[in-house]
């Protein structure tokens, strides 16, 4: 959970110049944002894990000449992808909501969190769109290979 202690303190003190209505709106937007972050990170973790397992299976079958059922790992990736895609809309909506509801000078420093999170989503999505899951798995496989190659040279 991403707790915003500064936001909570500001809300408790009632520092908002526009009154308690804006404070409640900001509080709701913050709760929605926290839930969207959790959902997105969970979906991203599931996709990353499935992609890493696919890359490991590909690497083991190529380098180790092992007979691994790669179709199973591809199915896991295919199952994780819709959950990830479904988490994008609520994540972007929560970012926009918190920006609109909590845009007071008091919370200006807190805007870094949604901005950084939005940049992370943008980067993750761009990576996926540039080459798809296969490219991500191949990149993982190349990373694994380079790690083993550097370990074997020592």
What's residue 5's pLDDT? Answer: 39
Do 150 and 143 meet the contact criterion of CB atoms below 8 Å apart? no
Distance CA 31, CA 143 (A): 37
Average pLDDT for 116-134: 85
What's residue 112's pLDDT? Answer: 57
Q: Does 64 have pLDDT greater than 80?
A: no
User: 110: which residues sit within 8 A by CB, 6+ positions away?
Assistant: 4, 6, 7, 102
Distance CA 17, CA 10 (A): 11
Q: Does 113 have pLDDT greater than 70?
A: no
What's residue 84's pLDDT? Answer: 92
């Amino acid at each position: 959970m991403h707790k915003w202690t500064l936001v909570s303190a500001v809300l408790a003190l009632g520092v908002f110049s526009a009154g308690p209505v804006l404070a409640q709106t900001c509080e709701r937007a913050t709760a929605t944002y926290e839930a969207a972050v959790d959902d997105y990170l969970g979906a991203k973790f599931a996709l990353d894990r499935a992609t890493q397992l696919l890359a490991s299976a590909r690497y083991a079958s190529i380098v180790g000449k092992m007979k691994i059922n790669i179709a199973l790992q591809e199915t896991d990736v295919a199952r994780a992808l819709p959950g990830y895609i479904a988490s994008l809309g609520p994540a972007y909506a929560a970012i926009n909501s918190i920006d609109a509801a909590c845009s007071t000078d008091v919370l200006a420093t807190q805007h870094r969190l949604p901005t950084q999170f939005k940049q992370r989503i943008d980067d993750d999505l761009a990576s996926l769109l540039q080459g798809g899951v296969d490219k991500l798995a191949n990149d993982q496989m190349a990373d694994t290979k380079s790690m083993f190659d550097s370990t074997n040279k020592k």
